[in-house]
C-alpha cells in the first residue's frame, strides 16, 4: 500500500469552473408565456439528487423553470445547497424579466437545497407572501412484508 495522494484543484481551475457556471447562468432563460402578471407561484422540488424550481402564474400555467442540472452542475454537485441558491438566483432573474413582484412558495421534497433556495429567493428582492410545505406524506404506507419463517 502506497501513500494516498489527495488531488487539490488550483486557484485557476476553481476560477475557470466558477466562470463556466456563471456563463451558463447568464444565458437567456426561455420564457414560455409573455403574460404580464404581478404575482406568481414558485414550486421548489428538492430531492437527494437535484433541485428544480418552476415559476407559474396564479392559475398554475408554467412560465419558466430552472434546475441545477440545466445551469451546469453535474453529478453530486446538483444536490448541494450552493446549487439550489444558484437555481433560485436564476429563477429570480426570470421573475424580474416578467415583472413579477409577489410570490407564493411551495416546497416539496427532502433535499439539502430547501432552506437555501428560500433564503436566496428572499435575498434577491422577491416579496414572499407565504411558504407552504407540500411534501407528500404517506398516511399508512405500503403493506409490510410477511413474517420470516425460521
Q: What is the pLDDT of residue 81?
A: 93
Torsion of CA 117, 120, 122, 125, to 10 degrees: -130
Q: Which residue has the cell 427532502?
A: 110
pLDDT for position 16: 80
Confidence of residue 31 (pLDDT cuts 50, 70, 90): low
What sign does the CA torsion over 29, 32, 36, 38 have? negative
Mean pLDDT of the chain: 86
- The predicted model gives 15-39 an average pLDDT of 68
Segment among 8-12, 15-19, 27-31, 83-87 with least mean pLDDT = 27-31
Ordered by where they begin, the domains of the chain are 45-133 (3.30.420.80)
DSSP at 75: G
Q: How many whole angstroms separate alpha carbon 55 and alpha carbon 42?
A: 5
Could you report the per-residue pLDDT of 92-141, keeping only the tens digit for each? 999 999 899 899 999 999 988 899 999 999 999 889 999 999 999 888 88
The stretch 77-81 carries a mean pLDDT of 91
| pTM to 2 decimal places | 0.73
Query: Can you tell me the mean pLDDT for 50-72?
Result: 93
DSSP-derived 3-state class of residue 43: strand
CB atoms inside a 10 Å sphere around CB 37: 17
Question: Which residue from 103, 43, 108, 112 is spatially nearest to 84, judged by alpha carbons?
Answer: 112
Q: Which of 70, 66, 73, 81 is nearest to 115 (CA)?
A: 81
3-state secondary structure (DSSP) of residue 59: coil
Q: Enumerate residues 6+ apart whose C-beta is below 8 A from 147.
A: none
Alpha-carbon span 136 to 109, nearest angstrom: 8
Amino acid at each position: 500500500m502506497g501513500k494516498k495522494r489527495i488531488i487539490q484543484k488550483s486557484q485557476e481551475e476553481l476560477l475557470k469552473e466558477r466562470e463556466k457556471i456563471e456563463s451558463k447562468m447568464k444565458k437567456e432563460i426561455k420564457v414560455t408565456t409573455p403574460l404580464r402578471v404581478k404575482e406568481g407561484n414558485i414550486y421548489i422540488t428538492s430531492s437527494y439528487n437535484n433541485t428544480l424550481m418552476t415559476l407559474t402564474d396564479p392559475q398554475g400555467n408554467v412560465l419558466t423553470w430552472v434546475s441545477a442540472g440545466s445551469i451546469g452542475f453535474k453529478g453530486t454537485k446538483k444536490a448541494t445547497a450552493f446549487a439550489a441558491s444558484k437555481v433560485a438566483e436564476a429563477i429570480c432573474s426570470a421573475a424580474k424579466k416578467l415583472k413579477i413582484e409577489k410570490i407564493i412558495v411551495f416546497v416539496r421534497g427532502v433535499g439539502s437545497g430547501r432552506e437555501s433556495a428560500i433564503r436566496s429567493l428572499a435575498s434577491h428582492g422577491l416579496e414572499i407572501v407565504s411558504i407552504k410545505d407540500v411534501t407528500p406524506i404517506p398516511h399508512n404506507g405500503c403493506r409490510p412484508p410477511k413474517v420470516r419463517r425460521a
